[in-house]
Amino acid sequence: MRSLLFIFLLLLLPQKNSRSVIDVAKIDGAINPVVTDFLHDEIKKANEENVECLIIQFNTPGGLLKSTRLIVSDMLASDVPIVVYVSPAGAQVASAGVFITLAANISAMAPGTNIGAAHPVMMSEGGQSNKKDSLDIMMEKVTNDAAAFIRSIAEKRHRSIEWAEKAVRQSVSISETEALKENIIDIIAKDLNDLLVQLDGRKVETASGERTIITQNAEIRYKEMNVVQKLLDIISDPNIAYILMMIGIYGLIFELSNPGSILPGIVGVISIVLAFYSFHTLPINYAGLALIVFAVILFIAEIKIVSHGLLTAGGIISFVVGSLMLINTDVSFEFVSISLSVIITVTILTVLFFVFAIGKGLVAQRKQPSTGSEGLIGEIGIALSEISPDQPGQVSLHGEIWNAESPEDEIANGMKVQVVGIEELKLRITRSLN
């Protein structure tokens, strides 16, 4: 009787949905700390909820080596199978993306995609490949480290170690069909549905042991960055960060040279804060940042000091060199740099900004007042009485009669006088030389 009652109660209880769950996270862009945080959170949630697998739909030109290492570490430590799917047609996984693709339990590519070119690039201060012996040695160390890293990933996932090392040392790049032949990927799938069909029943080795992926009738959950993460991802682009920094500098200097404008100051502060966040996510060379600040100082000095263009020339050189040095590419892959066209455009706009906008503001500040009591200083009037150091008198100025005193000169009635000061509506005058 008790057994029948227990069975009856079980039937009344809501049944847990036994349908498996598959998460799909889309990454379309550079690998940076924002992407790292997003994937870290999704891998963590996938493991906590024990989903069937996490699919990373991938299209990237590369990214930061430090961010890549963190993502690969999370993938290798995951108890849930992770699938990397290079999609759609025309997509690529280059440089940092190659490491992440190889680290997946199952790697797949769509037709018309490619993978490869994972060689790290070290740039010189002038933006060209460095030829000096000391930096050649450093470049070799960086390459050897990246090669060892990708070999360990390929060995862990039983992929072609030889090709993986070539991708780093020789920047080789291959199509999806070649990648399948070279044992770089496991599947070629025309779309996500095709991928799910081919994944069904596959066995993979995870951090906790062997698991079989069941995709039939699975619930698909699409995961995206939230609004804040999308914004931070956009401003983490080196070109955007660079432009935000310059807008911030423009806004603050314009506000300081034209007090009360308000809007330029607000925009400047917001832009500077966003730029600082971007710099936090990028490998910044502070020597380059210092040169940009020094260039701004030279531009301001040119407005106040007559140097016949020498300060402006020095500022332009300092600005361009500092901009080229701003992103330290020693620790990243080739995409992490500021576009030369952006640098040239911003340099021209910066020179024009200081010559016209700030220059006009400072000239206006130095201009002698032409209205109010201060505007009377230097004006010429006529004495209406005798005036001496001991005897104040009156003068006619602009058709008005003013009380006046002459601390130094003896002034006769009808003599021209010049205003040298004003105090409590009484003019201080001296003889006019005109």
Residues marked active site are found at 95, 141
Q: 3-state DSSP call for residue 313?
A: helix
Query: Would you state the structure tokens that stand for residue 169, as one six-digit string?
Result: 């040392």
Q: Which residues contact 162 (CB under 8 A, 6 or more apart)?
A: none
| Nearest-angstrom CA–CA distance, 369 and 5 | 99
C-alpha radius of gyration, the chain, whole number: 36
- CA dist., res. 60 & res. 70, Å (int): 16
How far apart (Å, rounded) are the C-alpha atoms in residues 400 and 44? 83
Q: How large is the greatest C-alpha to C-alpha distance in the chain, in angstroms?
A: 132
Report the amino acid identity of residue 27. Answer: I
What are the tokens at 235?
Answer: 């401003």
Distance (Å, rounded) from C-alpha 173 to C-alpha 93? 10
Q: Which residues of 205-226 are buried (b: 16+ CB within 10 A; e: fewer)?
A: ebeeeebebebeebeeeebebe
Report d(CA 102, CA 119) in Å as an integer.
15
Nearest of 68, 57, 64 to residue 28 by alpha carbon: 57
Q: Which residue carries 């955007």 as its tokens?
A: 240
Q: What is the distance, to the nearest Å, from the Cα of residue 99 to the centroid of all Cα atoms in its chain?
A: 24
Distance CA 355, CA 300 (A): 9
Name the token pair of 146.
């990246």
- List the alpha helices (DSSP H) in 157-285: 161-169, 176-181, 192-199, 227-235, 238-257, 263-281
